[in-house]
Amino acid sequence: MSQGKSAHSRVVVLGAGPYGLSAAAHLKGKGVEVRIFGQPMAFWADKMPAGMLLRSPRVASNISAPERQTTLDAFETSAGVPPRAPLPIETFVEYGRWFLAALGPSNEFHPNLPRSRRHNSPTAIRVVMLKLSPEGAWRS
């Protein structure tokens, strides 16, 4: 793929956690059409203990993006959340969801994808091609 912008490129990012959101932001910054599949920040919201404080310093808790408008500081200012260190998990989850919204309307979010069964290999990835019906149901 060339380094320039391509109006015909399409990429699917599997996972809407901090790394998936960052990958989508950088791809979008290069002009690539991106679709994000997954619940935004679901692992962090559902698997981490309520009230947990992040061990990473504030500067390392920013979700990487080519523009500076989506920093943790920008989120806190926009949401009226006072800056804290260490960062509460609830603030980080809301920051990730705000970050996704800031990516703009050209991104799609598909929260209800069917889940596949786990494979024995911890590195196995199963890709299933699905179509979204006009009624909003996924079909293979």
Q: What is the per-residue pLDDT across 4-31, written as a single tens digit (0 to 9) for each?
A: 444 444 788 888 899 999 999 998 898 8
In a domain, 4, yes or no: no
In a domain, 47, yes or no: yes
Look up residue 8 and give its amino acid. H
Q: What is the pLDDT along the chain (140 residues), one digit of tens a residue?
A: 344 444 444 788 888 899 999 999 998 898 888 888 788 899 999 999 999 999 999 999 999 999 889 999 999 999 999 999 999 999 999 999 999 999 876 555 555 555 555 556 555 545 555 666 676 566 65
Q: What is the per-residue pLDDT across 116-125, written as a single tens digit (0 to 9) for each?
A: 555 565 555 4
In a domain, 5, yes or no: no
pTM for the full predicted model: 0.74
**What's the domain count of the chain?**
1
Cβ count near 14 (within 10 Å): 13
Burial of 25 (0-12, 13-18, 19+ CB in 10 A): buried
Provide the CATH number for the domain around residue 49.
3.50.50.60
